[in-house]
Structures are given as structure tokens and as C-alpha cells.
Chains A and B, each alone.
Chain A
């Protein structure tokens, strides 16, 4: 018969190793959305629990249902976000009369710095906040900026991990703004 002590030690070691393997595997960003889009699917946008950057009031992506939304995850300390912001502002002004909007999600940022960034770059599109970056994990966000295009039915139709450019916007956003879409 096996002595209970070595058995307990063995079980504890196996449990610790299993926990370590789980930890290592679960730390990477999810790429489910990328694979679904690559297969031509249009997955439903995840329910993101966010707050308004200015007043901290709870906000959700469903508040924008019926609009074409370009979700843009950014932070004031992120260099490429600075470069990208004039393009996003220009496109927001273009999208607004056609039932669309750019929606910024500031994350892992100091609120004062974020508001300073918005003022400096004269950004007029709505800004939400994911203070701890937990909600945007559902989008598989791991770098900044990242953009997700959501259609009027609340489905993700395209994403860009890295800054968007004029070509990407024309290719993905314009078709959704057409009256027939």
C-alpha cells in the first residue's frame, strides 16, 4: 500500500504543474475574432462594460446599436495612437451624417493625460474608458492602437491590430455607410 504522505506530495506537485501550464496558456491574447473574420464570419460584438471617460458613468457598446461604429482602443502614452488620431477625427466627421461614429476606448491610462490628449488633438468623437483593460480582453487586445468595425446589427466585420490608414478605412468603413447596407 502507498503511504499517504508521498501520495499527497505527488498530487500537490502535479496540481502545481497543471496550474503553471494553465497560467502560461491563458496569458496570451485571444485570437478567436481574427479566425472568425478570416473564415468570412461576422461575429457578434462582445458585451463590453465600459465607463464614460469624462464622467465615469457606465456605458456599453449596445448604446450605439443601429450605428456603424469604429471602436478604437488607445492610450495617451501610445505613440502610434497619436499618429492615427487626426485620421480618426476626419473619418468621424465623415461618418457622423451617415449614421456612423468613431468610438474611442482609452485604457490603462491616467485620466488627466487622456483628457489632455483629446484636447490637444481636438478629438470630438465619444470616448469611453476601460480602466483596467479587462473588458477589452474580449476583443483579444494586446497592443495599441487596435480598431474593430461594428455594423448596424452589432456584428464585427473587420479589425486592425495596429494603426488604421486611409486605405483600410475606405475598404472597410465606406461600404457599411452606404444606404443599402
Chain B
């Protein structure tokens, strides 16, 4: 009877531990390190190996991982401790939107400039090959000679 009770208790405990582990998000230190900064060092946490503040920050992240927090929750905790500057990429709202919009706008402007130049050159070369817009007019004698040559070769 006692053995059966102990076995039952063990099973219940094992079941609880397994379900807790399953519910725990799979967050790793390396995963978070890539996306946050060491505010004192001014570099991403993953690159700040020896700095004392970086080590404290890592210990904090590790504690949060052990408390079963997700990456998003840990990043929110870090923002609560250090402010937005702890994020390697700032949140996409307000003035910070510029971080995402400005590079995109520069790329678009560059593409537009390249396309404009390419189209203009293509138009010019087409016009030249069609003879629609000769670049320079020939003088009277030269024009007559060219005309005669072309007729002679029967092109």
C-alpha cells in the first residue's frame, strides 16, 4: 500500500516537472545576447566579453531564463532596467521608425536614380541607332558626299 502511494506520488511529481519543462520557452543566452546591447560598452552584448557590466547583464538574462521567461519577456525586463538603448534594434514606433525608413528610402532613391540613368541612356542610344536624332549635322559638301556613297553601295 505504502509502496503504491510512493510510486503514485513520484509519478505525479514527475508529471508536474515534465509539464513545467514543456511549458518553459526555449530561450538561450546566446539567442538574447545577439539582440541586446551592453549599454556601458556601446557594443552588442555578445561582443562585450570581459566588461563587468556585460557580465552582470548576462547573469541577469540567465536568471530570467531560469525563471522560464521568453526572449520577448527578457528583452522587456532589460528595457525596464536600462531603457530602450539596451535594444540592438530600437522599437519600430515614433521617431525610431526613422531607423527602418531612412535606409529603405535611401535604397529606393538609389534604385530610382539608377533606373532613370539607365532608361535615359537606352533612349539616347536607341535614338542614335534609328538616326532619328543625329548628334551633329554634316556640312553641305560632306552631306552630299555621304549621300552619294550610300547610293553607290546600294544599302
Interface residues, chain A, with chain B CB atoms under 8 Å away: 5, 8-9, 75-79, 108-113, 131-134
Contact = CB atoms under 8 A, between A and B. Distances in A.
A76 B56 contact: yes
A110 B85 CA distance: 14
Given A132-B83, A133-B39, A108 B52 contact: no
Which bucket holds chain B's interface residue count? 10 to 19
A77 B52 contact: yes
A76 B59 CA distance: 13
A110 B56 contact: yes
B53 A75 contact: yes
Given A5-B116, A5-B117, A9-B113, A108 B55 contact: no
A131 B56 contact: no
A82 B53 CA distance: 14
A37 B57 CA distance: 36
Given A77-B55, A79-B52, A108 B82 contact: yes
A131 B53 contact: no
Interface string B102-145: 00000000000100110000000000000000000000000000
Contacts of B85: 132
Interface of B is mostly: helix
B72 interface: no
Contact of A131 (B60, B81, B113, B116): B81
Contacts of B83: 131-132, 134
Contacts of A131: 81-83
A20 to B, nearest CB: 15
23 contacts: A5-B113, A8-B113, A9-B113, A75-B53, A77-B52, A77-B53, A77-B55, A77-B56, A108-B39, A108-B53, A108-B82, A109-B56, A109-B81, A110-B56, A110-B60, A110-B81, A111-B81, A131-B82, A132-B82, A132-B83, A132-B84, A132-B85, A133-B39
Interface of B: 39-40, 52-53, 55-57, 60, 81-85, 113, 116-117
A134 B130 CA distance: 66
> Which of A8, A9, A109 has its CB near the most chain B CB atoms (within 10 A)?
A109
Given A110-B60, A132-B83, A78 B52 contact: yes
Nearest to A143: B40
Contacts of A108: 39-40, 53, 82
Given A75-B40, A131-B82, A132-B39, 16 more contacts: A76-B56, A77-B56, A78-B52, A79-B52, A108-B39, A108-B40, A108-B82, A110-B81, A111-B81, A112-B60, A113-B56, A131-B81, A131-B83, A132-B82, A132-B85, A134-B83
